[in-house]
Amino acid sequence: MSAEATNPEARSEARPELRRRGRTRLDLRRLGRAALLGPTSRDRLPDAIGHVAEAHRAHHPDADLSILRRAYVLAESSHRGQMRKSGEPYITHPLAVTLILAELGAETTTLTASLLHDTVEDTEVTLDQVREEFGDEVCFIVDGVTKVEKIDYGAAAEPETFRKMLVATGNDVRVMSIKLADRLHNMRTLGVMRPDKQARIAKVTRDVLIPLAERLGVQALKTELEDLVFAILHPEEYEHTRALIAAHAGERDPLPAIAESVRVVLREAGIHAEVLVRPRHFVSVHRISRKRGELRGSDFGRLLILVGENADCYGVLGELHTCFTPVVSEFKDFIAVPKFNLYQSLHTAFATSDGHVAEVIVRTRQMHRVAEAGVVALGNPYATAAAAAAASGATAGTAEACADPYEERVDPTRPGWLSRLLDWQQSAPDPDTFWSVLRAELAQDREITVFRADGGAPATISLPGGASCIDAAYAQYGEAAHGCIGARVNGRLTSLTSRLSDGDTVQLLLAHDASSGPSADWLEHAHTPAARIAISSWLKAHPDGAAATTTAARAPLSVVGARGGGGNAVADLPDATVRLAGCCTPVPPDAVAGFVVRGGAVTVHRVQCAAVAQMRSLGRTSVAVHWRATADCRVTLLAESFGRPHLLADLTEAIAREGVEVVSATVEPPVEQRVRHSYTLQLPDATGLPALMRAMRDVPGVYDVSRA
């Protein structure tokens, strides 16, 4: 079950911890046959699950195993007489699945449900019987893993089964943990099926189960599934990779010597660490060979360094980069910035004096457990504080601790991708749509987090890498995003098609016109299923499109008044003509600077204006300017708004109500229903400027007013 085991046919050779415990790979066929031999004493566990109990106690020493015995007795008796296609007693399958989860450290409730996961689907046992005997929590998990009836759903049975499991996973991630272990054991024993059925199951595993294992952080299951799928779907490349590994096995491996050098360095630095050589699994070797061409001895594995504390990880990193030659391009810090699947480690690489390059993973032992087992290592993330103290000893009274597992549970560990999936699947009633969109969603292998500028809850939005403002709009507003006409990213106005980066702050702008809707080209820039499904549904319901505001090119509308000059600015230069700069339109009490231009006139700028810095860089000397005691001033304001009838009239009326004179006004042609207005205004009193800007912002359709 090791994530790094090289040979899928000899996994136990890559598990030194198994050898330390004195356990070997189980002969499940023998155990299954033994399970059918007569009754077992009720005061001890049946021999057939003794290895499961041993693996479970290794992670949970105080676990109450009585519920496992009862679950095994029910599973064995209900499956008795059933055989797998391989000829083994059927009980060997739930035993194998439970052993996989026990080795990963799953808690007792998960193992109980795992033993029973096929009883409701394949035997006469009912969910009510499971609930009565083992409680609501075990019943919920078993129901989540149980397939829907093919007789009811026909060809849609498989996608609907996955939909059911994913919805249940949203309430309890242990449902998908059991499904992954179930698929792993089925893949291990897939050789008895027809080649076409092997290929079909392998493709579903590749497209859906492996990405789910990656997202849930269960690397130990993911990597073995990858190898098994690789062997079925790409047999020639698999055999070539097998030959490469076999050839390497007969050569001298440089990694043990490099590992010893690292141990010496860390020992001298006083850092307590365990340094292991981790062989790559088949798919990893294949990827490296395609990336680097001819492989060297150090390419067949990596060094894994385990320490006690987070600070020790960085201490190890410093020693490695000091004592060896680091390969800077290979450094990644997943401790400061964890992956979206809980993964944390430091990745680096260094070159040795003889030319070998060793890749290194540095993590704490707790990080290692989470990296291998993912959500399985979380135990029961839904237990109350009282139940958490006894999490390793689940009993039939679990139902008392969990009032109703069918109600929505608040899971702080639920990742953003799962929340998105649960949202958009409700809008995909068609099984084919759900199935195709699910595969596309799971193909995304990176997540970003953006922040809402409006301060609403939630403060952050999780999106897949490459998402655009369109995706953010539908993630925040749902179908109301049909009326989105623009966005501000990090304070700057941008188009909806702009891609977002991790950490961006996004403010989405919605039109007030109810007839607004998305355009067909939005689909080219939408990456999330929620956005694509919503846009497609709207376009299907509105084949003629929305009543759009005309965007035909035309000259800006301009209204110009008769007044000009420098307002109430006075330059300390006798008889000089003073003009207020149109680029920054200073008003009292702005700090200002003046510069003499052609004709002897003095142009006045705000000191923050870019033109001031440019003038000074050219060696131009500024002229002192002050404001007259009179309070009137001139200012240019920019108003950004949604296009609608009578907007210009409403804005000019709002300006007139404040007693302000319009010197000039320019209205640019609308672009994507957005209109930009520019007003040069003469104010009787500079102190009225904030009130004027507020009055303009209050006009329906106006979403921003700023000084030029």
Amino acid at residue number 587: V
DSSP class of residue 189 equals T
DSSP character string of 522-590: GGGT--SHHHHHHHHHHHHH-TT---PPP----PPEEEE-S--S-TTEEESSTT--EEE-TTT---TT-
Closest by CA to 94, choosing from 61, 122, 67, is: 122
> What would the 3-class secondary structure string for 23-79 be?
CCCCCHHHHHHHHCCCCCCCCCCCHHHHHHHHHHHHHCCCCCCHHHHHHHHHHHHHH
Query: Whats the size of the chain, residue-wise?
Result: 708
CA separation for the pair 8, 29 (Å, rounded): 18
Amino acid at residue number 213: A
Closest by CA to 63, choosing from 323, 340, 392, 505, is: 392
DSSP class of residue 301 equals E
Closest by CA to 134, choosing from 123, 146, 125, is: 125
Estimate the share of the chain in helix, then strand, then coil, as percent rounded to the nearest 5.
50, 15, 35
CA separation for the pair 305, 269 (Å, rounded): 14
**Preceding amide of 589 cis, omega within 30:** yes
Report, as residue numbers or ranges, the catalytic residues.
121-122
Cβ proximity of 259 and 291 under 8 Å: no
Cβ proximity of 159 and 420 under 8 Å: no
Cβ proximity of 495 and 486 under 8 Å: yes
Q: Which residues of 235-249 are buried (b: 16+ CB within 10 A; e: fewer)?
A: eebbeebbebbeebe
User: In the numeric block, which tokens belong to residue 203?
Assistant: 């493709």
Cβ proximity of 262 and 305 under 8 Å: yes
Write down the residue that tokens 């996973």 correspond to: 169
Cβ proximity of 508 and 541 under 8 Å: no
β-bridge pairing 661-667 and 557-560: antiparallel
Considering only CA atoms, give the Rg of the chain.
34
Write down the residue that tokens 């925040």 correspond to: 476
Residue 235 C-beta-side C-alpha neighbours within 13 Å: 4
Amino acid at residue number 607: V
> What would the 3-class secondary structure string for 421-449 be?
HHHHHHHCCCHHHHHHHHHHHHCCCCEEE
User: In the numeric block, which tokens belong to residue 135?
Assistant: 């409680």
Helix, coil or strand: residue 118: coil
